[in-house]
Amino acid sequence: MSTAHSDHDHPAHLAHHFETSAQQMESGKLGMWVFLATEILMFGGLFCAYAVYRANNPDVFLFAHRALDTTWGAINTAVLLASSFTMAWGVRAAQLGQKKLLIGLLIATLFGGAGFMLIKTVEYKAKWDHALFVGPSNAYYHDNGTLADPGEAAHSSEYIEKHGDTDGGHGGHGDDHGAGHGDAHAAGHGDSHAGDHGGDHGAQADAPAPAASKIAAPAAPPTGLHADLLTHKRPVLGAGESLSTGIGAIQASHKGSHYPAFTELDPLNTNRTHIFFQIYFAMTGLHGLHVLIGLGLISWICYRAGGPMTRALLVPGLFVSVGIYFVFVWWLVSANSGWFPTTALVAAVLCLIAGALWGAKNVALTKPNPDADSEFSPGYYTPVDCVGLYWHLVDLIWIFLFPLLYLIH
């Protein structure tokens, strides 16, 4: 269409049905804002599910959230905020026509987003290792109240309780999430757990397992895991008791820590322990998907903003980046058995080779071409602006996810 009407006063970027560039830009931005409203409502459903389950099962959330790594979460927040900053600066650069700076900032934003996904991978890996993953691979998962492997659940509980002690809840200063703290925890942790995962696991599974296989059957007399927990005689969050008394009671009962142990959870609520993780993965997973889409959009903007050399290197560069990511994944899981590490390695090698060859070919064939310049100018940068808005929304959602999931008190 635009070719049919592209004559004198219509610049190339102006679509046939708009009168002026300003009208086109305003329309684009209005459309983007409306689209962002739909995104917020979509995440709103998940926030709503979170609120319902947290309000109904506060102690489960207090207990289970300790499996999340506050340090990595905080670092990721900083990384994503920084990438939002480079994106905003990039929009400014586009407005001012600073083409080189724009490309540099977009690439910096890409690195921020990629770094976020890398750290998220580390976190997901830790959940996988401790049987706290999504769906039936979660140790607390059950169908009709029957745990598949009560021993595994006990093991995961032990991990969560220890993790909480070193990570956050520690002696009443929950705010003290220093860097040193995180390091100590990361180092000490990986080792000690790699050891006892195999060892203790079997032993524990044998001892209390048979009786513990039924959770949350309030009508039946308490057995197993909950027989233990009821002998503790802690004040449970009973029917009619208010939320705050419930939490207060739990906290008071658990000496030296802010958070309940698994055995201290209300037996009515323990069958929802895995729901915390399902919601965690639903929320962070959907957010991660948005980060990936954002990375794709930023790459597209970067391609359109670049000169011949940027365009020649961008797509091969993405392949190489994905290859590096798979190398990292392989390194993370190399100790595991099964098909996954090999697959990751094969994918990594393929991506790296493809990226390198393609890049070399493109560079060899690229000639400086003054016509293939940036599409954007101070008169036309709507796509940069819109992708920027999208990226800020992705950032903003994380800003809500981080405290809601990681920093529960």
Give the residue with the Cβ less far from other proteins, 242 or 256: 242
Q: In this structure, how many other beta carbons lie within 10 angstroms of the beta carbon of residue 336?
A: 12
We find the least distance from the C-beta atom of residue 189 to other proteins, in angstroms, to be 27
132 bridge partner residues = 138
**Tokens describing residue 235:** 């004040």
Q: Is residue 45 a contact point for other proteins (CB under 8 A)?
A: yes
Q: Is residue 382 a contact point for other proteins (CB under 8 A)?
A: no
Give the residue with the Cβ less far from other proteins, 49 or 117: 49
Footprint of other proteins on 244-273 (CB under 8 A): 271-273
Q: Which of 81, 100, 135, 218 is the binder for other proteins (CB under 8 A)?
A: 135
Q: Are 201 and 159 spatial neighbours (Cβ–Cβ below 8 Å)?
A: no
Give the residue with the Cβ less far from other proteins, 35 or 331: 35
Stretch touching other proteins by CB under 8 A, among 39-47, 107-115, 376-384, 395-403: 39-47
Q: Is residue 398 a contact point for other proteins (CB under 8 A)?
A: no
Q: Which of 4, 239, 335, 365 is the binder for other proteins (CB under 8 A)?
A: 4
- The torsion region of residue 69 among left (phi > 0), alpha (psi -120 to 50) and beta comes to beta
Stretch touching other proteins by CB under 8 A, among 129-137, 203-211, 250-258, 324-332: 129-137
- CB within 8 A of 301, min separation 6: which ones? 106, 383, 384, 387
Rounded CA gap, 216 and 230, in Å?
13
Q: In this structure, how many other beta carbons lie within 10 angstroms of the beta carbon of residue 329?
A: 21
Q: Is residue 274 a contact point for other proteins (CB under 8 A)?
A: yes
Rounded CA gap, 317 and 376, in Å?
22
Give the residue with the Cβ less far from other proteins, 15 or 81: 15
Report the candidate in 235, 238, 240 with the shortest Cα–Cα distance to residue 251.
235
Q: Is residue 38 a contact point for other proteins (CB under 8 A)?
A: yes
Q: How many residues bind other proteins (CB under 8 A)?
A: 51
Site string for other proteins, 201-240 (x = CB under 8 A): ---------------x------------------------
Q: Is residue 141 a contact point for other proteins (CB under 8 A)?
A: yes
Give the residue with the Cβ less far from other proteins, 7 or 175: 7
Give the residue with the Cβ less far from other proteins, 22 or 346: 22
Q: Is residue 386 a contact point for other proteins (CB under 8 A)?
A: no
Give the residue with the Cβ less far from other proteins, 48 or 353: 48
We find the least distance from the C-beta atom of residue 134 to other proteins, in angstroms, to be 6
Q: What are the counts of helices (DSSP H) followed by strands (DSSP E) for the chain?
A: 14, 2
We find the least distance from the C-beta atom of residue 50 to other proteins, in angstroms, to be 10
SS3 of 301, please? helix
Give the residue with the Cβ less far from other proteins, 193 or 272: 272
Q: Which of 78, 81, 136, 232 is the binder for other proteins (CB under 8 A)?
A: 136
Q: Is residue 149 a contact point for other proteins (CB under 8 A)?
A: no
Q: In this structure, how many other beta carbons lie within 10 angstroms of the beta carbon of residue 144?
A: 7
Rounded CA gap, 382 and 26, in Å?
9
Give the residue with the Cβ less far from other proteins, 275 or 313: 275
Locus of tokens 């399902």: 278
182-211: b (≥16 Cβ within 10 Å) or e: beebbeebeeebeeeeeeebeebbeebbee
Rounded CA gap, 289 and 377, in Å?
30
Q: Are 362 and 312 spatial neighbours (Cβ–Cβ below 8 Å)?
A: yes
We find the least distance from the C-beta atom of residue 19 to other proteins, in angstroms, to be 5
* Longest CA span, the chain: 86
Report the candidate in 75, 149, 156 with the shortest Cα–Cα distance to residue 116.
75
SS3 content of the chain, % helix, strand, coil (to 5): 75, 0, 25
Q: Which of 91, 279, 351, 404 is the binder for other proteins (CB under 8 A)?
A: 279
Contacts with other proteins, residue ranges (CB under 8 A)? 1, 4-5, 7-10, 15-19, 23, 26-27, 30-31, 34-35, 37-39, 41-46, 48-49, 52-53, 134-136, 141-145, 216, 271-275, 278-279, 281-282, 286
